[in-house]
Amino acid sequence: MTRPTADIRPSSQPPHPPARPIYTFFTRPQVIALVAVLLVNWLLFPGFFTITWQDGRLFGSLIDVLNRGAPVAILAIGMTAVIATKGVDLSVGAVMAISGAVAATLVSSGVPATVAVLAALAAGLLCGLWNGILVTVLDIQPIIATLVLMVAGRGLAQLITEGSIVTFADPLLVFLGTGSILGLPTPVVIAIVLMIVATLIVRRTALGLLIEAVGVNRSAARFAGLSAGTLLLIVYTFAGFCAAIAGLIVAGDIRGADANNAGLWLELDAILAVVIGGTSLMGGRFSIPLAVLGAMIIQAMNTGILISGFSPEFNLVVKSAVIIVILVLQSPLSARVFRRRPDGRPGNPQ
C-alpha cells in the first residue's frame, strides 16, 4: 500500500498539522478539562495525588482512576475507529458480556485459560464481524445494525452461562482483571499498549487516512478506489475485539461472568469518551489518544463524585451536563458566534 499524498485529503477537513511541538498537547481542551477535574478531586480529598508503593505495585487514587477507567478506554479505542467512519457501535456492552461468559464457562469446565482467553477474543471478533457484515453487505444504518446484537447479545451471553453467574479462580483471568505488570495494574497496561499500537497503525500507515475518507463520504471514497466495505468490516471487527478485551478484564476483576450486568451501559460511556475526545460524530476526524483521555475524564468525574459523598446516580446528571456543553461548543451556532468575535479575529483558522 503506497502512502497517498496530502492532496487527496477531503477539502472540507483541515489537514493534520504536521508534527506539532509537544507543548500544544497540554493546551488541548481535553487535557485542561482532565487537569481541572483532577484538581477539584484534590481539593475535595487532599490525599488524591498520593501514590504509594506496596507489595510490588503502585497504590493511590490516581492509579485507581486509571484502573477503573481502563475498560471504557479500551472500548473507546475501538469506538473511535467506528465513529470515524460515521458509524456507531451500540453492541460493545453486550459483546463484553459474551466474551466474559465464553471465558468463564470454558475455564470452569476445565479448558486451559489461554484457550479460553483466545476463544473469548474470537467471540468478540465474530460479533464485530457480524456487525460489519450488517453494515456493509446489507447496508443497514450502523445504529440499527448494532442494535440487533445489543438486544440479542445479553440473551446469548445468558445462554452461554445458562443464566447463572459463572465464577472462577483461574490465575490468568484473575491476573487480567486485578494483576499488575511493573507495578501498574494489568488493565492499565493493556489499555496503554492497545492505544499505542492502534495509534501507530492508523497514523504511521495510510489506514487512518482511509478511515477518515470513508467517514467523510463513503460513496466518494469508493469512487476514489478505496474498498470501503473491507475497511468498514475491519473497523467493526476491531471494535468487537476491543470489547472482548474489556469483557475479559471486567470478568477477571469480579472473578466471574455476570451476563446481565457486565458492561451494562458502557457503550454509552465509550461513545461519550470518544465525543469528549473531539472525534466528530459526522465522521472524518478522529483521535485515539484523546478518546482515551476522554475515558479518563469520565472516570475522574466518577471518582470525584464518589469521594465527595454524592450518590453515584448523581453522576448521570453530571454526564448529561458534559454532553450538553460539548454539543453546544461543537454546534455550528457557536462556531458562528466565535467567528464573529468583536476584535474581528476568526475563531477558527480554516
User: Could you list the residues that contact other proteins (CB under 8 A)?
Assistant: 88, 134, 138-141, 143-145, 147-156, 158-159, 163, 259, 268, 271-272, 275, 281, 311, 313-321, 323-324, 327-328, 330-333
Question: In terms of CB distance, is 167 or 334 closer to other proteins?
Answer: 334
Report in angstroms how near the CB of residue 194 gets to other proteins at its nearest.
25
Q: Which residue has the cell 492509579?
A: 63
Q: Which residue has the cell 464518589?
A: 306
Question: In terms of CB distance, is 15 or 163 closer to other proteins?
Answer: 163
- The neighbour count for residue 211, using CB atoms within 10 Å, is 26
Question: In terms of CB distance, is 67 or 302 closer to other proteins?
Answer: 302
Q: Residue 185, SS3?
A: strand
- Displacement of CA 198 from its chain's centroid (Å): 12
Question: In terms of CB distance, is 170 or 267 closer to other proteins?
Answer: 267
Question: In terms of CB distance, is 115 or 144 closer to other proteins?
Answer: 144
- The neighbour count for residue 324, using CB atoms within 10 Å, is 10
First to last CA, the chain: 30
Determine contact, residues 100/157, Cβ cutoff 8 Å. yes
Report in angstroms how near the CB of residue 155 gets to other proteins at its nearest.
3
Report in angstroms how near the CB of residue 206 gets to other proteins at its nearest.
28
In whole angstroms, what is the distance from residue 225 CA to residue 216 CA? 15
Determine contact, residues 140/134, Cβ cutoff 8 Å. yes
Question: In terms of CB distance, is 93 or 187 closer to other proteins?
Answer: 93
Report in angstroms how near the CB of residue 88 gets to other proteins at its nearest.
7
- Displacement of CA 65 from its chain's centroid (Å): 15
Question: Closest by alpha carbon to 22, among 31, 33, 34?
Answer: 31
Strand pairing of 184-185 and 180-181?
antiparallel
In whole angstroms, what is the distance from residue 319 CA to residue 305 CA? 11
Question: In terms of CB distance, is 76 or 149 closer to other proteins?
Answer: 149
Report in angstroms how near the CB of residue 103 gets to other proteins at its nearest.
19
Report in angstroms how near the CB of residue 236 gets to other proteins at its nearest.
16
For residue 256, the cross-strand partners are: 167
Question: In terms of CB distance, is 68 or 154 closer to other proteins?
Answer: 154
Report in angstroms how near the CB of residue 158 gets to other proteins at its nearest.
4
Report in angstroms how near the CB of residue 130 gets to other proteins at its nearest.
10
Report in angstroms how near the CB of residue 38 gets to other proteins at its nearest.
22
Q: Which residue has the cell 507543548?
A: 23
Phi, psi at residue 250, to the nearest 5°?
-65, -40
- The neighbour count for residue 116, using CB atoms within 10 Å, is 24
Cell numbers given for 29 = 481542551
In whole angstroms, what is the distance from residue 174 CA to residue 110 CA? 16
Question: In terms of CB distance, is 83 or 113 closer to other proteins?
Answer: 83
